[in-house]
Amino acid sequence: MPAIASIEDDATVLYNKGIDLYEQDKIEQSIATFKKAISIDPEFYEAYYNLARIQESVGKYQDAILSYEKLLKLEPTDYESCLQLANLLYKKGYLAKAQTYLAKIPITSEFGTKAKTLSDKISKRQAEIQEEARIKAAQSLKTSIVGSVPAPSGLVVDSKGNMIVASFSQSVIFKISPDGMNKFVFANKEKGLDGPIGIAIDSFDNIYVANYNKGNVVCFDKKGNPNILMYVKKPYCINLDEKNAKIYVTEQQNNSVISYDISDILKLSSIQKQEENKNMQTIKENQIKAPEHEKVITFPVTDRNPIGTPSIIESNFTRSNPQSSVTAPIMVPAGSLFDY
């Protein structure tokens, strides 16, 4: 420890006495003497330095921290003391505060490399503490099983808090009440499901399902009515943007992510459904009014009476009008108003 030449000054005399006591291994007396010197001269930097080092050496870390902080206010560029203080703060668990002092040490200084090493060590410890806190918080959470579903693969929650859960192995989508007390089948194979995995839901509670085995995406309304929106090769994950304007699907077979404009999909789907309904209606009408055979009705045409008395013939597709020499065949299915 540096000794200061004796001057007729009480603080200096006490400072030198403190050094003598320390060398005589009279630690407590030495500490008390340095403190007394500082009380006479509060800006006695050397007294703070020796006091801090002695306190640190005997394990009085909290006292040493205070002494280092005071001396660094007097001499901010004492990077050795800055490093010592940061190390003490690290030992006491004041990690963020230790980092603030290490940041004051230039990397180009004599203590820069040691400061960097300690800073990295502290950063690692801070990350460990955060992870420990996260795990502890997770373990303290109160959990409960609110529903049992075989091989659950996808989950969303609707606006009423109901859980919509997909079962990949059973090709079923279950709806479970918020309390888990009620569960029923929302959709199954009869509605086109085959290996549902990803599920998404929009603000209207329409449910979008990545139907893995069938290679399509199906939309179910609140009542569970299905509507195939698109065909995707092995769709897996599915999601919507916050405006419900786009739908995103991961396509496993092609290792790609695909986005679709929902309005275009619904428009196309609506057209397809209209065509399907139209075709179904035509089939039904043909089934109801299926003609046994076709009949030809011809009308004599005159200037005064353009529609004469109809007559029916079978297997004759023309009839001549003797007055106008005009042939006017009309094909009418059996069972129509003209079938007499």
pLDDT digits (tens, 9 = 90+) for 260-299: 887 766 565 554 555 556 666 665 655 554 444 333 333 3
Asked if residue 88 lies in contact with residue 68, where contact means CB atoms within 8 angstroms, the answer is yes
Task: Give the Cβ contact number of residue 164 at 10 Å.
Answer: 22
Whether 211 and 254 share a structural domain: yes
Query: What are the angstrom distances between the C-alpha of 262 and each of 240, 246, 265, 288?
Result: 9, 5, 5, 38
Q: What is the CATH number of the domain that holds 219?
A: 2.120.10.30
User: Does residue 192 contact residue 207 with C-beta atoms inside 8 Å?
Assistant: no
Give the β-pairing of 172-176 and 163-167.
Answer: antiparallel
* 99 shares a domain with 14: yes
Which range (91-100, 139-148, 192-201, 229-238) has the least confidence? 139-148
Both structure tokens of 201:
């839901």
Closest CA to 299 of 291, 289, 309: 309
Nearest CA among 167, 203, 201, 198 for reference residue 185: 167
- Which of 115, 140, 165 corresponds to the end of one domain? 140
Give 68-79 pLDDT, tens digit per residue: 999 999 999 999
The more confident residue out of 329 and 180 is 180
- CATH assignment at residue 22: 1.25.40.10
Does 127 share its domain with 159? Answer: no
**What is the number of domains present in the chain?**
3
User: Based on the domain organization, do 316 and 259 belong to the same domain?
Assistant: no
67 shares its domain with 163: no
Give the range with max mean pLDDT: 122-126, 222-226, 265-269, 333-337. 122-126
Which of 11, 16, 12 lies closest to 30 in space, CA to CA? 16
Res 278: pLDDT: 65
Q: Are residues 30 and 95 in the same domain?
A: yes
Of 94, 109, 140, the last residue of a domain is 140
Exposure class string for 54-87: b at 16+ Cβ within 10 A, else e: bbbeeebeebbbbbbbbbbeeeeebbebbbbbbb
Specify the 3-state DSSP secondary structure of 285: helix
Query: Are 161 and 133 members of one domain?
Result: no
Residue 21 counted as domain residue: yes
Mean pLDDT of 184-212: 92
Instruction: Please indicate, yes or no, whether residues 233 and 268 belong to a single structural domain of this protein.
Output: yes
Q: Does the structure show a pLDDT above 60 at 177?
A: yes
Buried b (16+ CB within 10 A) or exposed e, 177-192: eeeeeebeebbbeebb
> Is a pLDDT exceeding 80 seen at residue 314?
no
Query: Which of the listed residues 140, 169, 198 is the one where a domain comes to its end?
Result: 140
What is the C-alpha end-to-end distance of the chain, expressed in Å?
Answer: 132
Higher-pLDDT residue of 226 and 311 is 226
Tell me: pLDDT of 24 over 50: yes
1 in a domain, yes or no?
no
Does residue 272 form part of some domain? yes
Q: What are phi and psi of 256, to 5 degrees?
A: -140, 165
Residue 210 in any domain: the answer is yes
Percentage of the chain with pLDDT > 70?
A: 74
- Kindly state whether residues 174 and 216 are assigned to the same domain: yes
Residue 289 domain-assigned (yes or no): no
Would 146 be classed as within a structural domain? Answer: no
**pTM for this entry:** 0.46
Helix (H) or strand (E) holding 36: helix 27-40
Are both 193 and 123 inside the same structural domain?
Answer: no
Whether residue 262 sits in one domain with residue 188: yes
HSE at residue 280, side-chain half, CA atoms within 13 A, is 6
Measured N-to-C along each axis, helices 79-91 and 95-102 cross at an angle, to the nearest 10 degrees, of: 170
Residue 338 maps to a domain: no
> How many CA atoms, within 13 angstroms, populate the side-chain half-sphere of residue 228?
15
Task: Please tell me the least confidently modeled range out of 110-114, 237-241, 312-316.
Answer: 312-316
What is the domain extent for residue 156? Answer: 152-284
Contact 50, 34 (CB under 8 A): yes
What is residue 329's predicted lDDT score, i.e. its pLDDT? 38
Q: Identify the band that residue 132 occupies on the pLDDT scale cut at 50, 70 and 90.
A: very high
Helix (H) or strand (E) holding 31: helix 27-40
Task: Name the amino acid, one letter, at 42.
Answer: P
Query: Which tokens hold the place of 196?
Result: 């549902």
Q: What's the pLDDT score for residue 296?
A: 37
Asked whether residue 5 is assigned to any structural domain, the reply reads no
301 plus 279 within the same structural domain: no
Contacts of 128 (CB under 8 A, 6+ apart): none
